[in-house]
Homo-oligomer: A and B are copies of this chain.
């Protein structure tokens, strides 16, 4: 069902400065960067290491685009730090359905657009022991499924 820790999402005020911290201190490089208007964030993925399911475990840095985005509100309440934890799964829709049947509120009725073409959904932190939890299906897993369907 879950096959990896896909990433840890970290809220920050300044994406460049925080990325530079991870580069300078640990040698981690930005592998991917994008703006997600829907979520109101600019984000960067820093690969920490490969995972046995053929993907990567990343640090994801999140900087809010506007003062009223969820990540901006998180920063106002908590300051910089861990915002969410994302687990990788081969089929995000099926996993979300199963998890929903087990009593966890799934925040996105349909999986939505995540980083680098992934499909994601968030789970309600109050149902997950205080942890804002994300489920991620990598873009190449989605592509492999589409090919099978053709």
- How many residues of chain A get a CB closer than 8 Å to chain B's CBs? 39
CB atoms of A130 and B51 under 8 A apart: no
CB atoms of A129 and B57 under 8 A apart: no
Please encode chain A, from 13 to 48, with 1 for each CB lying within 8 Å of some chain B CB and 0 for all others: 000001001001111100000000000000000001
CB atoms of B81 and A125 under 8 A apart: yes
CB distance from A25 to the nearest CB of B (A): 5
Interface-located stretch among A2-10, A65-73, A109-117, A140-148: A2-10
Please encode chain A, from 59 to 97, with 1 for each CB lying within 8 Å of some chain B CB and 0 for all others: 000000000000000000011111001011000000000
**In the complex, A52 has a CB within 8 A of chain B:** yes
CB atoms of B102 and A25 under 8 A apart: yes
Q: Once the chains are docked, how many angstroms separate the CA of A104 from the CA of B24? A: 11
Residue of B nearest to A123 (CB): B25
B residues near A99, Cβ cutoff 8 Å: 25-26
**Of the residues B1, B50, B80, B104, contact of A130 by C-beta under 8 Å:** B80
CB atoms of A104 and B25 under 8 A apart: yes
Q: Which residues of A contact B (CB under 8 A)?
A: 1-5, 8, 10, 12, 18, 21, 24-28, 48-53, 57, 78-82, 85, 87-88, 99, 102-104, 125, 128-131
